Structure formats: C-alpha cells, structure tokens
A and B are shown apart, each in its own frame.
Chain A
Amino acid sequence: MKNSHPLSNSGLSEENFKAIFLEEFSNLKAYAQSIVKENETSSDIVQEAFMALWENRKIFENKRDPKPYLATIIRNKSLNYLRNNKKYHPDLEAAEGWEQHLGISCNDQFTQKQLKAKIQETLDHLPPKCREIFLMNRQEGLKYKDIAFRLGISIKTVEAQMAKALKAFHDNLDQFILLTLIFLMNIFF
C-alpha cells in the first residue's frame, strides 16, 4: 500500500508541463528521429522523455528550461535503443555529429520560404514513380517492404528509387547544404 502523495505542488506545474509538451513534441521527435531514424521509435522515445520529466517535475525549478533536460534524455535513450538493436557504432556517431545536430529550424522567414519552394520544386521534378515511393515512405510512414508489396515491386527497386530521390534533393539543395551550419541551430541551448 505504498502511494506517494501527489497533492503537493512545487516545481513544474501540470499546466506548464502540458504547454511544454504540446509545443516541443514535434521538434524533439525530429531530434530523436535524426538519431534512431525510425518514426514510431522516435515518438516512443519522446514520450518516455516526457514521462521522466513528469516524474521529476517536483524537483524541477520553475525557472529552469526543461528542453536541455529532455534533449539529454532523448539522446541517451536513442543511443540505448541503437545499442540494444545493434545499430550503434561510434564511427556513425562521429560522422553524423549527434551531439551538435539538434534538428533543423530557421528563424529567417525568407530563407525558410526559399527552402520550402526549392524542396517542392525538387519533388515536382522527380519521376512520378520515384515521387510516389518517396512520399509513401516519408509522409505516410510506410516501410520499404510495405511499399514494395503495395506497388508490386521489389524492395531493391524501392531502395533505388529512394536513393534517387535523396540524390535529387542533395543536388538541388546544394546552396542550402552550404548554409546548414546556420540552419542547424542548436534548438535546445
């Protein structure tokens, strides 16, 4: 019959907690996904990170920004996930720079608009099949094997088309790639 008594209210209030959750979930998920890559796994990890924040809300000082705390938990949980699934390698971590890269966001409305236009343009110029496959994967969240099954093609073909799409983005976004040091703003610190 052990029960902690939840009536005391110091630290992070329920209201603030909810506001932070709603505001930050999307960004934090992008961060988790930049490490673990998998869509659902990244949502789960962000959920768990908020659970940890919720459990520790009482010791959380009012003025302290919870984002760095959440980011740290997400990073650790993501690395654990990769390790447990044998997908972790220090060389990958070094190559991608998970420490610094914390998601893309851009305050510059003009650049943001340009980027959006360029991406749309690239998408429009992809061969229809390639575009279809790419969007099925990225926007509908379908796995390669599901796409292959739906379209009656081989997984190998899906892989090739996805690579083709990425190459197109890579080639068309070169100016932005040079700029990404500006883009890759550290959103948590």
Chain B
Amino acid sequence: MDVPEDILELITSYFSGELNEEGIQQLIDWLNKSSENRKLFLDYKKAWELQASILKQPVNPEEEWEKFRKKNLSTFTKKEIKEERVKKLMINRSYWRIAALLALIIISTFAAIYLFRNEEVEILLTQKTKETFTLPDGSTITLAPESKAIYDKTYGKKERKIIVTGWVYLEVAKNERLPFRVWAGNLEILVTGTSFYIHSSATEQDASVILESGKVKAYPKGKPSEAIELKPGQAASYVSSKDIITITSPEPNYAAWNTHKFQFNNTSLDEIIALIESVYSIHIDLSSPELGSCKLTATFENQSPESILQVIASALHLKLGGDDTSFILSGMPCQSNK
C-alpha cells in the first residue's frame, strides 16, 4: 500500500523539522487511523534515518568543543597545574619598583578567559583568606577571599593583561613599554600612569574603577575609543544595560577588605554586617531582622572583627555572642530616631 502524496509531504516535512503545529496534528490524525498507517510511517522513518546516517550534515566535534569551552570557561580551565605555580608565585616576592597601585573590588562571576586563546594560563585563586601574589613583571596582586585572577604566558612580553573576578588589589610595576590592562566583567581598564583604586558593583558584567592618584583610562571591554580618563577621587562604572561607562562617586569603604579601615556614617547595621562578613569571611547573625535597620556612625582601623562587633554592640545596646567565625548580635530593636 502506498502513502498518499499529501501525507508523504507531511511525513517528510516532519522529519526535516519543517512541520508546524497544524501539520503535526494532521499527521497524528492520519497515524491514528490505522496500525497500517503507523507501520508505513515507521518504514519511512527508517528510510529517513538510513539516509541521514550517511548523508547527515557533517559535524565538527572540535568546533563544538571550542563552543563548549567558551561557554563554560569560568568553570572549565586548566586547574590541576595551577596550585603549585600559585605557591611558587607566592614565595617569589618582588623587589621591583612599584609605580602604580590598583585595587579592584569586582563582583563579577564570569571571567572571560577566552581572551587567552593560549592554553598556558595561570590562575590565582583564594579561598578563606586574602593572599598576595607576585606577577612575572614584579607587579603584585592581592586577592580577597574567594577571588580570582587569570593571566597567560604572554604576560609581560608584549603587554600585560589580566582578568580579575572578586575583590582585587593590584600594585602595578611601572613599565611604559608594556601597557597594563585589566578586564573586570565588561569593564576594561588601561593603566597609563601611577596609582589608583578600582571597585565594582554587583551584577555580573558590571564593575567600576576608583582613581586615587595618577591616571587611568576605563572603557567597555574592547572599545578603547570610548575611554574615559579619570581624575583622582573619581570613579567610573560600567553599566551593562547600556554598555557604557559613566562617572560616579566612589562607594564608601571600597578598600576596607584590604586596609581593614572602616568608616561608617549613619550606616545601617545590615550594611555594616554585610561588609564585615565579606571582609573577614565570618558569619554574623541578628537575633531579629529589625536590628538591621539600626544606624551607626563610627570609624575602625585595623581591629579584629570581634572587637569591632563589641564596639558596635555596646554602641547599640546589644549583646554579642558566638565564636571566632560566627557571631550573633541580640537585643531590642533601635528607636527609629536613632
């Protein structure tokens, strides 16, 4: 028995992925008419699969692999070889002249490693504590807990480029022949002069730079023509929704994770706790969420988290409990006019 021409067209369109909802319904109606129809359909399917096994579009697994690697690079990297080298770098402290200071505080989770086509990349990672590493040119990089920096083996040859994720502080060795570039999210920073700080905002591709002194240029990744040159005290942020760089004012305490200096000016306890938690990798609980809206004005410099919390507790009439890594503040909510 033969299949009517119009049904055969439905079947063929179905196998080539061209059949719409309506056509699929027509095909199903025909299939459900008889088991004979279903058998014919299956024969045509077999014929289709047989030709497809020979005439299928060539698949290039290497190409697909490249696609896969690019998509998954934040997790898929050359890890095993790293740890040893990281240790070596730590020992090899630099005696080079340091000309520029950079601090990055970046909360971007997707580092675009594909900048480095080269397989030989160095990955610097931190876990619970901050660490300082020396780069091949003598620049040093300090990573806050759970932060990451990546560079490849061409670093220091033609140029110096590095990708950072998390909270990072960089001291860049002066070398006018080798520009120093940083990628943080979708923000690109070109180091042209002496000393500066960098900071970021929360979403994945957003980041910002704060200049302390000297010169720095910031622009959306790969678009140096849109560069903004910062003046000391200024900050520039990358806004991913608009793909532009704008000048902003620096966030307070942007360097606290590194300097352990905190300045709170009528700051809410929620904000204070979030900052202290991330700087010291500790956990702080409040006995009730209302406590979070208590406000505090205070300055701390190089104190242990415990002594900071003790001061906060006594200022706000709270009790401090807990141990080295986990604290709890308990008490009555503050008056709203506090």
Residues of chain A touching chain B, judged by Cβ–Cβ distance below 8 Å, are 1-3, 5-7, 9, 14, 18, 21-23, 25-26, 29-30, 33-34, 36-39, 41, 43, 46-47, 50-51, 54-55, 86-87, 89, 91-92, 95-97, 101, 103-106, 115-116, 119-120, 122-123, 135, 137-141, 143-144, 159-160, 162-163, 165-167, 169-170, 173, 176-177, 180, 183-184
Contacts and interface: CB of A to CB of B under 8 A. Distances in A.
A159 B12 contact: yes
A106 B77 CA distance: 36
Given A37-B14, A87-B24, 7 more contacts: A3-B148, A21-B64, A37-B16, A47-B64, A160-B5, A170-B47, A183-B50
Nearest to A120: B54
A152 to B, nearest CB: 19
B300 to A, nearest CB: 21
B53 A169 contact: no
A22 B50 contact: no
Nearest to B145: A1
A105 B50 contact: no
B28 interface: yes
A1 B13 contact: no
Contact of B49 (A2, A43, A104): A104
Given A159-B13, A169-B51, A170-B44, A5 B127 contact: yes
B71 A51 contact: yes
A7 B55 contact: no
A139 B125 contact: no
A179 to B, nearest CB: 9
A171 B211 CA distance: 75
Contacts of A119: 50-51, 54-55
B12 A166 contact: yes
Minimum-distance CB pairs A-B, first 5 = A37-B17, A38-B17, A170-B47, A104-B53, A163-B12
Given A47-B68, A87-B24, A96-B45, A37 B57 contact: no
A86 B11 contact: no
B46 A177 contact: yes
Interface stretch (B79-87, B172-180, B262-270, B322-330): B79-87
Interface string B5-49: 100110111111111010011011001100000100111111111
A91 B28 contact: yes
Contact of A169 (B31, B50, B72, B79): B50
A9 B41 contact: no
Contacts of A22: 61-62, 65
B323 to A, nearest CB: 22
B16 A144 contact: yes
B59 interface: yes
Nearest to B31: A95
B47 A169 contact: yes
B158 interface: no
Interface residues of B, number: 66
A120 B54 CA distance: 9
B50 A51 contact: no
B166 interface: yes
A166 B44 contact: yes
B11 A9 contact: no
B197 interface: no
Contacts of A2: 146
B278 interface: yes
B56 interface: yes
A148 B169 CA distance: 59
A1 B57 contact: no
B28 A1 contact: no
Given A87-B21, A115-B50, A1 B278 contact: yes
Contact of A138 (B31, B38, B57): B57
24 contacts: A3-B109, A7-B82, A18-B65, A25-B59, A25-B64, A25-B65, A29-B59, A38-B17, A43-B64, A95-B38, A103-B49, A104-B53, A105-B53, A119-B54, A119-B55, A159-B12, A159-B18, A162-B9, A163-B12, A166-B8, A173-B47, A177-B46, A180-B49, A183-B50
A8 to B, nearest CB: 9
Given A1-B145, A26-B61, A160-B9, A21 B55 contact: no
Nearest to A155: B18
Interface string B127-169: 1000000000000000011111000000000000000001100
Contacts of A91: 28, 31-32
